[in-house]
Structures are given as structure tokens and as C-alpha cells.
Amino acid sequence: MKVRSSLRSLKQKPGSVVVRRRGRVVVVNRANPQWKSRQG
């Protein structure tokens, strides 16, 4: 599955987790909730 490059940069941030929710790829960050995004 392709992951968008904007999600890859968010994935590098400390505390971020990549999860799949209902068929979507979501980046969640508990340390800084501002850095959250989704694809699909």
C-alpha cells in the first residue's frame, strides 16, 4: 500500500503512531496532537 509522503514526514516525529482505522491510514501523535493526519 502506498503511503503519502506527507504522512512519512509526520511518522518521523517523536511520539507518532501509524494506525489503520476503518480502512484508512491515520497518523496519531499523543505528544503533540497537532500532528495528526489521515490518508484515504
Question: Does the structure show a pLDDT above 80 at 40?
Answer: no
Domain boundaries, the chain: 5-39
Distance separating the N- and C-terminal Cα atoms of the chain: 11
Residues paired with 28 in a beta bridge: 17
**What digits encode the pLDDT tens for the residues 11-26?**
899 999 999 999 999 9
Q: Where are the beta strands (DSSP E) in 1-40?
A: 16-21, 24-29, 37-39
pTM: 0.73
- Residue given cell 490518508 in the structure block: 39
In one-letter notation, the amino acid at residue 35 is W
Q: Which residues of 29-38 are buried (b: 16+ CB within 10 A; e: fewer)?
A: beeeeebebe
